[in-house]
């Protein structure tokens, strides 16, 4: 008697009886969900951009856990901004590093007054000293994630910091006024991320 071969399960059969347990809704996850006999996993990651600063007061002593007089104070701040102003900040950074020299005939901001303001500040070459390190921060993350997928930090000058700070306050998206740092801006990157998903047929 020949041994009967065990039939392999098809991919569809693996999901044929799929259902979410009743308690799943209490876990806070938006994935997966079932619609039109399809199991759909959405990409909840978005791009978040920030104007950041890092401060540290140093007393000139090496940290000693048993000596409170050696303890320092560190402050980190993040103000969410739009991709529009993030790119302007990158452009100003390249100008200040000397990589872009001719910028007078380039429109940096679409608003004439804002454009003139940026060029006026850059032309005057203001020197600002500060006790904080300013930067542009970009992060790919789910707004409710404990740890982001990726974080990048680009250090910039204090002049650049104040230019972007003022522009983002006067010309920015009103949804960013409250600095909740979880606002998804309406740009092509976030639109692409929002339209990324994986689906499986229940068959």
Q: Report the chain's terminal Cα–Cα distance, integer Å.
A: 35
Distance (Å, rounded) from C-alpha 87 to C-alpha 202? 43
The label of the residue with tokens 């079932």 reads 34
From first to last of its 203 residues, the chain has per-residue pLDDT tens of: 555 555 454 445 555 565 666 665 555 566 666 777 777 788 888 999 999 999 877 777 888 889 888 888 888 999 999 999 999 999 999 999 999 988 888 999 999 999 999 999 999 877 777 788 999 999 999 877 788 899 999 999 999 999 999 999 999 888 888 878 888 888 888 889 888 878 777 66
């Amino acid at each position: 008697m020949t041994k009967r071969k065990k039939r392999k399960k098809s991919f569809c059969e693996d999901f044929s009886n799929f259902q979410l347990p009743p308690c799943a809704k209490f876990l806070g996850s938006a994935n997966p969900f079932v619609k039109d006999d399809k199991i759909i996993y959405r990409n909840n990651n978005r791009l978040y951009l920030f104007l950041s600063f890092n401060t540290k007061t140093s007393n000139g002593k090496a940290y000693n856990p048993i000596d409170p007089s050696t303890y320092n104070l560190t402050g980190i701040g993040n103000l969410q901004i739009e991709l529009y102003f993030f790119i302007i900040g990158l452009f100003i950074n390249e100008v200040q590093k000397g990589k872009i020299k001719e910028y007078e005939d380039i429109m940096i901001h679409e608003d004439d007054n804002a454009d003139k303001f940026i060029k006026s500040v850059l032309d005057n070459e203001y020197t600002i000293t500060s006790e904080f390190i300013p930067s542009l921060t970009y992060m790919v993350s789910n707004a409710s994630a404990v740890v982001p997928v990726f974080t990048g930090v680009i250090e910039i000058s204090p002049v650049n910091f104040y230019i972007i700070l003022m522009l983002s306050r006067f010309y920015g998206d009103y949804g960013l006024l409250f600095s909740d740092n979880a606002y998804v801006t309406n740009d092509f990157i976030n639109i692409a991320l929002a339209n990324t998903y994986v689906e499986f047929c229940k068959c």
